[in-house]
Amino acid sequence: MKDKGIKIVAIGGGSSYTPELIEGYIKRRAELPIREIWLVDIEEGKEKLDIVGNLAKRMVKAAGLDWEIHMTLDRREALKGADFVSTQFRVGLLDARIKDERIPLSHGVMGQETNGAGGIFKAFRTIPVILSIVEDMKELCPDAWLINFTNPAGMVTEAVMRYGKWDRVIGLCNVPIMSCKIAAGAIGASDKDLFFKFAGLNHFHWHRVWNKDGVEVTGDIIKNAYSTPEGMPTALNNYKKTHEPDEVEEGGSAIKNIPDIGLLAEQVQDLGLIPCSYHSYYYITDDMLKEELESFAKGETRAEVVKRTEADLFELYKDPGLSIKPPQLKKRGGAYYSDAACELVASIYNDKRTEMVVSTKNNGAISDLPDDVVVEVSSIITRSGPMPLSWGSFKPAARGMLQLMKNMELVTIEAAYTGSYAKALQAFTINPLVPSGRVARDILDELMVAHKMHLPQFADAIKKLGQ
């Protein structure tokens, strides 16, 4: 790898996020002797792949680099001899996400991309595809690292390890980076002057914070951000004041995908931990559902908004005079995406020992969960992969939810792998955002039929539904 230069493959290369990725690699040109980058997509994504690939070529040329940028629909051709493979694809494209959100909401149930019924079905569609990618990697690039950004990132990473038998995989998300920025803003500090420790699952983690004197400031952050309705907006404003405009997502929210609705102060104070933004779906479900139902009624679910935003972005990307990541990409969400993905690659390649929050095998980091399951934890990134930092045990309030959610993930993954309708129903029943009983079964059946084209493992079950 060091002698010949690095070969990087991005599966889902026609994504609107790809300019973020290219920008991140360009910023790290001194650390990464890249030889070639392959952008891979499917036939349905060919037009977007061509548009994004040509923009990537212009970006690389404008940076004065001689990297080869290849666009292809042939995944196997791209994977030959790869050193790093990143995945950022969406099976069924954004139309599938719209179904994941709107079908549950039509039953008065939470509809969200990675949580609840929608998140489970995204896993059902994605896991068979990621496992097929792994089989190709075993043959064509057995020493490569798989950097997974495809949601639901934790479950996809778990499936790769558990059923793909591939340990050189790391799941990644930009939410922890945003969480650090917002927490620092709550006490008027820079995140660079604080030490953060995360533990939990992807989109379901908590964290604690210390200052550079070794004094824990978690309580101060909770007091400032969660005790009053003005707390979180103040933290956001402080964050925005200390960052360049192109580092801040447009709109008022901490995480672009999630409405800003205040958590219950007493609950967060009792936890003594700072929750992930996605915890809003579990801590204040009624408020979040009300917000979603209002958007649903207006035809403005997050997926529908994103689809319109992406259409505008690709019109911008077509401009032959454009050779940088356009600022309008902030509307899409995903701030710090490139920092997470590209820094992870740089840290592995150079054995930098960078501290990052990743989805990886527990290996004792969280004592409340088995060693062999995938968790999202603060880790030191080495050439050998992530070395998770020990967290220990959670108190009962967080521990109970964590263990429930991890087991829900395991049942979901097993259902996706085996094609068992009964296990799919069990996953729905365990999930806190899905009502049990007939409502769960009705939503399950409707989603099965709606996505049947992308659920070959459930073909027998769907046939029994008369479809």
Q: Where are the alpha helices (DSSP H) in 63-114?
A: 75-79, 93-106
The answer to whether residues 117 and 434 touch, using CB atoms and an 8 Å cutoff, is: yes
The answer to whether residues 170 and 359 touch, using CB atoms and an 8 Å cutoff, is: yes
Nearest C-alpha neighbor of 1 from the set 381, 337, 379, 351: 351
**Three-state DSSP class for 49?**
helix
CA distance 424 to 420: 6
CA distance 376 to 254: 20
Sign for the pseudo-dihedral over CA of 50, 78, 114, 45 = positive
Which of 17, 278, 282, 349 is labelled catalytic?
278
CA distance 278 to 427: 19
The answer to whether residues 343 and 49 touch, using CB atoms and an 8 Å cutoff, is: no
Neighbours of 341 (CB within 10 A): 25
Nearest C-alpha neighbor of 203 from the set 166, 178, 231: 178
CA distance 314 to 334: 16
**Three-state DSSP class for 118?**
helix
The answer to whether residues 114 and 133 touch, using CB atoms and an 8 Å cutoff, is: no
| 278 catalytically annotated | yes
Angle between helices 18-27 and 46-62 (to 10 degrees): 20
CA distance 285 to 2: 50
CA distances from 229 to 233, 264, 279, 433, 440 (A): 8, 10, 17, 25, 34
CA distance 99 to 121: 10
CA distances from 29 to 35, 63, 383, 447 (A): 11, 10, 18, 44
CA angle, 8 then 9 then 11, to 5°: 155
Nearest C-alpha neighbor of 292 from the set 93, 104, 90: 104
Outline where DSSP puts E strands in 302-367. Answer: 354-361
Q: Which residues carry out catalysis?
A: 278
